[in-house]
Structure 1
C-alpha cells in the first residue's frame, strides 16, 4: 500500500466533492442485509463480483479489501449502526490506486413499506478533476455493478434464511 489518503469521517458522505449514489429495493430484511455487509465481511466476494478478497482486521474495526485488477484498500469502519435505518460505512486509509485523496463508502438500509427495503450505496470521493470526470463517466458501470451485487446479496441472505 503506497498511498495514504486523507482521513475523513461519516459527514464526508454529504460534503465530498463527488458523490455517486445508487439504490435498489430488496425483500430481504434490513438486519439480514446489514449482517451480510458488516458481520460477514469475508463473504463479500460471494456477492460483489469486483471483490476478490475481504477480511476484517483489528477485531472488525478495519478491513482489507482487494478488487479484480489488483486494486487494494485498507479501510477503517466509521459507522456500524442498526435500528430503523441500518448504516455501514468505511473510509479508505491506504490504497495502491493513484489519484484518490479521500474515499468513503456508505451503505444504508431502511424499510420502505410493503415488505420492501431500500439499499443505498454512496461512493463519496475527493480526487483531482480529471479523476472525478472519469468516475462520473464510469457511473453507469458502477451502478450496474451495485445492482448486480445487491441482487446476489438478496439471494444469498434469502437462501441462508431458508
Structure 2
C-alpha cells in the first residue's frame, strides 16, 4: 500500500542537515565525477545493473529488495558534483520522510569520492532499526560503488 510522506514543502535540501536520522557513507571510485554523475542522474534504469538493493527503476519510481517501492522527486541535479532526491510516496512502514544525496568530488588520482547521505524521519523504533542497519547499508553502498566502478570502466 502506497502512502504519501511528509508534505514536500517540509522536506527540501535543508532536511539533509535537520533530519532526525542522518547516515553518511563514502567510498572512492576510479571513474571521474562526470561519469559517476551521469550514471546516477541520467541512467536511472541502469541502477539495477550495479546497485543490488535496487530491483526496478523506471523514471523516479524505484523498487528495492524486500518489496519496498518509492516514488521520488529530484531536488538537485548539479553535474558533476551532486544529485539529490526526496521520496514522496512509499510502502515502507513507519517512514515519514526520506531524502538522499550523492555528493561527488574529484580525488587526487582522477577518480571520484562518492558521499551518500541518507536523511530520514520516522518513529523512534524505525530510527533505531535504521541505525542498527548502518553496517549493512554501508556494505551495500560500498558494494554498489565498486559495481558502478566496474560498469563505468567497461
TM-score range relative to shorter protein: over 0.9
TM-score normalised by L of structure 2? 0.95
Counterpart CA distance in 2 for 1:122 and 1:32 is 20
Q: 2:110 aligns with which of 112, 115, 134?
A: 115
Measure how far apart 1:44 and its partner are.
0.3
Measure how far apart 1:27 and its partner are.
1.1
Tell me the alpha carbon deviations over residues 18-49 of structure 1, each in whole angstroms, 9 at most, x when there is no partner.
Answer: 00000001110100000000000000000000
Measure how far apart 1:11 and its partner are.
1.3
In the alignment of these two chains, the number of paired residues is: 151
Aligned match of 2:40: 37
Counterpart CA distance in 1 for 2:50 and 2:97 is 25
TM-score normalised by L of structure 1? 0.90
Query: Are the aligned partners of 2:22 and 2:119 in contact in 1 as well (CA < 8 Å)?
Result: yes
Q: 1:140 aligns with which of 135, 148, 151?
A: 135
Runs of 4+ in 1 over 3 A off after TM superposition: none
Unaligned runs of 5+ in 1: 57-62
Counterpart CA distance in 1 for 2:14 and 2:108 is 27
Equivalences for residues 1-162 of structure 1 within 5 A: 1-6=1-6, 7=8, 8-56=11-59, 63-83=60-80, 86-159=81-154
Unaligned runs of 5+ in 2: none
